[in-house]
Chains A and B, each alone.
Chain A
Amino acid sequence: MEIERTTNNPPEAWEYSAAPERFPVSIEETNKLFIDGKFVSPKSRKWFASTNPATDEKLADIATAGGADVNAAVLAAKKALPKWSKLAGSERAKYLYRIARRIQERAREFAVLETLDGGKPIKESRDVDIPLVAQHFFYCAGWADKLEYAFPGREVQPIGVCGQIIPWNFPLMMAAWKLAPAIACGNTCVLKPAETTSLTALRLAEVLQEVELPDGVINILTGAGDTGKHLAEHKMIHKLAFTGSTNVGKMLMRNSAGTGKRLTLELGGKSANIIFADAAIDQAIEGIVSGIYFNQGHVCCAGSRLFVEEPVLEEVIHKLTRRMKSLRIGDPMDKNTDVGAINSRSQLQTIEQYIKTGVAEGGQLHEANNQQLPSRGNWCNPCFFTDIQPSHTIAREEIFGPVLSVMTFRTPEEAISRANNSPYGLAAGVWTEKGSKVFEVAKRLEAGIIWCNSYNQFDAASPFGGFKESGFGREGGMQGLKPYVKLV
């Protein structure tokens, strides 16, 4: 196929003036734990620093919850349970509606805080994360008094005290995904945000005070892995919900064996994005870019394995390269930024190691975008690899960064078998203009979310979660209530 190379080529990067988001957000110097409706100093007397990954500047000190703090939070949740679980669903709903409304009213503040603390572009925190947080509470609110319609033939009861551990890639959104269905169903919660992104969860605690959520219904404990371990192993929690790496998920599963604790795990992925020759290629390019470079690739369902049908490989590489040149990398607070900072130094090192491995194993590295990266902070140029075999490390393991492996296929059969050849099964993308093909491939892919002619779409009404080693249980939608109810 003849490919136009001379026309329609935009300048490599448009020169934009800086467009910083200037909404002022105050951050306390020290941030305490939220237990039983109050902010309290940690009994552990330990604190850790949270930094802005785009500048390396310290933002605040955050409390480390130790064993005694975890215990206090679990006891508070337990104490709150009888009243909360017996409250009429219609009344519980009103608290969730209030939370949703307050998040909408304070949306810009949350967006700025999320971007400062986590490094994601303000465009994403403002237009994706925070609106979805509000939607999630609003959506789940409506279920609180309608649960018997979601589970026909059964009586619905809450499970009890839920321990919830969330990651740093979508900090407040993950908090909403965990908390909203849990409290809508009458459970009480102890939530632990990731140590690099605690600030928005603590700001949510302020909202919970504002809406007068009864004390102890939601408790928020900051800290690192040890705090999570104390929470996961606490004898009084009835349910453990975790989003994070598959290895930690397996450990939690082993440690919970024989305890009777219910589990929901939303784990890693190595999702396939399949481009057929009869796809709308320009749209598919957008799907590839949003699939792997959205949120710096810190996305469990990132489309990190690209399978391109051979006849269009050259065209796809050409157009992808051109599109990547227009990506703007840098200050996450700039409203024009497409790719922000890597969330932490250690994650950056992990990604860089994978890139080195990719090269060492024979992959061809393409860094289409040669923008000058800021001198301070954690930065990684979005890139992709060609000459990749399915056996290569970067084609098998989750990188959690802006690194794409490009491979090819000749038949739908081959695309499906290569896509399914992974212990993971979180998401997949399928691009073809042929209706019967799109649904046949979607049917045969082993993944919990299939984006046809699209990628990385999220909605509170749409269940999210994976097959195989990507975990079990769903978050969002009607099916997302099931992990938080007992059917009797």
Chain B
Amino acid sequence: MSRLTVPKTYKLYIGGKFPRTESGRSIPIQDRRGDIAAHICHASRKDFREAVEVAAKAAPTWSGITGYLRGQILYRMAEMLEGRREEFAAAICVTSSVAIAAARKEVDASVDRLVCFAGWTDKYQQVLGCQNPVASSFYNFTIPVSQGVTCVVAPEEPSLLGLITLIAAPLCAGNTVIALGSQKHPIPTAIFGEVCQTSDVPAGVINLLTGKRADIVEQIATHRQVASVSAAGLNKKERITIEVGAAESIKRVCLSTLKDDGWYDARLCASPWAIEPFVEMKTIWHPSASH
């Protein structure tokens, strides 16, 4: 007699907890043969608003710790992901047509991406900021500082690498994040919360939602506590929704045009110029006795 398996219930990740959606809804996920592979949470607007609450509350903590510590936490995430390499590769393959070898490559790239950003947390300030040689008796310098809450709309594919690339940049900058994972391939997003939870990420710093873009995109665009939006793979309608909604509170919007192999290019994905859209430049003047 074959053993009855224990299928996993995929939940949201909000405020360091794994709640089901408050809406009580789920979406069946089909595997590549068309069979029901799992049910994932169908996050509601209220789930999103709750995530914004906790992310906003966590923002001073996350931006207040040192870059060194943020780097260690991101590196810990890479360690935990590395340790679950096979699980994540399998998760990618559940719904996607990619071969297991390609899925492993995506997980490896995701780990490397986290490591790369872990290294930037205490360095991008030195690349993006500077001292300004003003023509008067002032000491003047410009430093990049965090924005607050960033919302991420991850691309459909690569479901894991896209998610991690888009969340790592604002996290590196000291922002807290709410990410809506790939709609077609949600399982890697759904289990990535377990990596976060075991990596000393303070509660509320990373929040992960699964569900339907159409339900949440407008809320992301118009929520006043959201400082910036990072999104990839939007259709024209979603793009306009985000850009029009962002005008309400002058959100910063960063729409990625990365495709296919572009996600594997660290020069494009993990340079200081990937972090720069998620900082504000603060310029400080102080009198000095001489120029």
Contacts and interface: CB of A to CB of B under 8 A. Distances in A.
A438 B285 CA distance: 11
B125 to A, nearest CB: 13
Interface string B42-60: 0000000000000000000
Interface string B263-291: 00001000111001000111111110000
Contacts of B145: 443
Interface in A209-252: 246, 249-251
B98 interface: no
B99 interface: no
A253 B243 contact: yes
B135 to A, nearest CB: 6
Interface in A403-427: 423
Which of A153, A246, A265, A464 lies at the interface centre, i.e. has the most chain B CB atoms within 10 A of its CB? A153
B244 A254 contact: yes
Interface stretch (B190-198, B209-217, B245-253): B245-253
Given A153-B273, A258-B239, A452 B286 contact: yes
A246 B127 CA distance: 31
B284 A452 contact: yes
B285 A449 contact: yes
Contact of A449 (B240, B243, B252, B283): B283
A474 B280 CA distance: 9
A448 B281 contact: yes
A477 interface: yes
A448 B147 CA distance: 11
B133 A250 contact: no
Interface stretch (B109-117, B136-144, B163-171): B136-144
B243 A462 contact: no
A100 to B, nearest CB: 13
Contacts of A482: 276
A321 interface: no
A288 to B, nearest CB: 16
Interface residues of A, number: 49
B134 interface: yes
B285 A461 contact: no
B236 interface: yes
Nearest to B276: A482
Nearest to B247: A253
B132 interface: yes
A448 B250 contact: no
B280 to A, nearest CB: 5
A448 B132 CA distance: 15
A262 to B, nearest CB: 11
Given A153-B267, A459-B132, A462-B140, A448 B283 contact: yes
A462 B143 CA distance: 12
Secondary structure at the B interface, as helix, strand, loop or mixed, is mixed
Interface stretch (A157-165, A354-362, A465-473): A465-473
B130 interface: yes
Nearest to B267: A153
A267 interface: yes
Contact of B142 (A257, A457, A477): A477
B132 A453 contact: no
B132 A462 contact: yes
B132 A472 contact: no
B282 to A, nearest CB: 6
B250 A452 contact: no
B132 A463 contact: yes
Nearest to A424: B250
B160 to A, nearest CB: 25
A250 B280 CA distance: 19
Contact of B136 (A246, A453, A459, A470): A459
Contacts, number: 117
A287 to B, nearest CB: 10
Contacts of A265: 250
Interface in B14-37: none
A274 to B, nearest CB: 14
B249 A423 contact: yes
B262 to A, nearest CB: 12
B244 A450 contact: no
B283 A461 contact: no
B281 A474 contact: yes
Nearest to B135: A459
A57 to B, nearest CB: 36
Contacts of A479: 128, 142, 281
Contact of B135 (A135, A254, A464): A135
A256 interface: yes
A256 B240 CA distance: 9
Nearest to B284: A450
Contact of A450 (B127, B128, B283): B283
A373 interface: no
Interface core residue of B135, B267, B273, B285 (most chain A CB under 10 Å): B285
B134 A462 contact: yes
B239 A450 contact: no
Given A135-B135, A472-B252, A250 B247 contact: yes
Nearest to A252: B247
Interface string A144-165: 0000000111100000000000
B240 A452 contact: no
B285 to A, nearest CB: 5
B271 A154 contact: yes
Nearest to A251: B247
A487 interface: yes
Contacts of B287: 452-454
A292 interface: no
A451 B285 contact: yes
Contacts of A172: none
Contacts of A468: 227, 249-250
A398 to B, nearest CB: 14
Contact of A253 (B227, B246, B284): B246
A303 B267 CA distance: 42
B271 to A, nearest CB: 5
Interface string B114-130: 00000000000001101
24 contacts: A152-B272, A153-B271, A246-B250, A253-B247, A448-B282, A449-B282, A449-B283, A450-B283, A450-B284, A450-B285, A452-B286, A454-B285, A454-B287, A457-B285, A459-B140, A461-B132, A461-B133, A461-B140, A462-B142, A463-B283, A465-B281, A467-B280, A472-B250, A478-B132
Given A254-B247, A459-B135, 5 more contacts: A253-B244, A258-B243, A452-B284, A462-B140, A477-B283
The 7 closest A-B pairs by CB, nearest first: A257-B243, A253-B247, A459-B134, A258-B240, A452-B286, A254-B247, A257-B244
